Amino acid sequence: MERDEKNHYPTFKALRGIDLNLLTVFEAVYIHKGIVNAAKVLNLTPSAISQSIQKLRATFPDPLFIRKGQGVTPTAYAAHLHEYISQGLESILCALDVNNNYDKERIITVASAPSSGALLMPRIYSVIQKVNPKLSVRNVPIAENQLSQFQADIALDTRPHHGPGISSYKLYDDHLVAVCRHDHPNAELILSANNHEMNYTFLIMQDDLVVDTRQLINEILPNRQVRFSSYNFLAIASMLSNSDLIGFMPYKIFEMFSGPFQLKTVEREKFSTVSLATTMHFNKLSTRDPILQEVIEAIIHEFEEV
């Protein structure tokens, strides 16, 4: 009996500092996606629900819910809490992490484009596991306002993420290369100034990178028609492998696809002036979360060593 009491003492101590009624409010707001609806379900006033959410925000290093239209949308951290809270008391204690207990399980949400994810996620996952082997990683697509609305913990992207609350760290620089299939019949003539009949494919990149890249290609290869465009590197690589088109992609992406799709570079030097930076972005409020801060610092340290 004494042994059981001793084993459960940390549990009771943790619960003593938390109002479990707030977790009921949390679940109601999460499920019903709004303060007014949650108030109706719990027979409370909207003001009381709002006050409870404010108390929860003081407990956790995250706003939990962001206003969206007439309702609210949960943050990535709130979704993480919900997975545990909905399963019962034992799982609740695994998710609370009030004392920054590194033995508790946690999901780190990393947003990226498919290509950046394919390049970086194995390395990012390895770094996170070194920080804490109980941390899990969820990779999700890049979306607008993702970090400012706490829908992801970290974003890996080639485009800038602006905002007073966003911090950024460049992981690495890459450059553009012209690519074709390994047995292209006219590879030597592809970049000839007089060869205006040669088709090529162009990778659509995000925002200002599109302008810079198109401008450089138009200067080097004037009057060429874009016959195929795609946001998807797999589609680009497949098209190049099965046609006489040439394409443009970052060199690290070429390294990934050159073997499986039998591709080769046609020209590297002429396009090397276009710098393609891949950057890690995160919300500055992440520094309030010791575990997430340690993950971010570990990733920075990993890429500093390159």
Give the span between the Cα atoms of 12 and 17, in whole angstroms. Answer: 9
Q: What is the pLDDT of residues 63-113, one digit of tens each?
A: 999 988 888 999 999 999 888 777 764 555 455 554 555 556 788 999 998
> Domains in the chain, please, with CATH?
1-99 (1.10.10.10), 172-277 (3.40.190.10)
166-175, 205-214, 277-286: segment of lowest average pLDDT: 205-214
Say what the pTM is. 0.66
The arithmetic mean of pLDDT across residues 124-149, rounded, is 92
Structure tokens at 285: 């409020």
Give the span between the Cα atoms of 302 and 94, in whole angstroms. Answer: 28
CA 145 to the chain's CA centroid = 12
247-250 and 275-283 strand pairing:
unpaired
Give the span between the Cα atoms of 152 and 74, in whole angstroms. Answer: 11
The arithmetic mean of pLDDT across residues 10-31, rounded, is 79
Which residue, 99, 78, 137, 119, is CA-closest to 257? Answer: 119
The upper half-sphere exposure of residue 221, i.e. CA atoms within 13 Å in the direction of its Cβ, equals: 25
3-state secondary structure 106-125: EEEEEEECHHHHHHHHHHHH
Q: What is the pLDDT of residues 164-201, one digit of tens each?
A: 899 999 999 988 888 899 998 877 666 665 555 555 55
Residue 2 banded pLDDT, cuts 50, 70, 90? very low
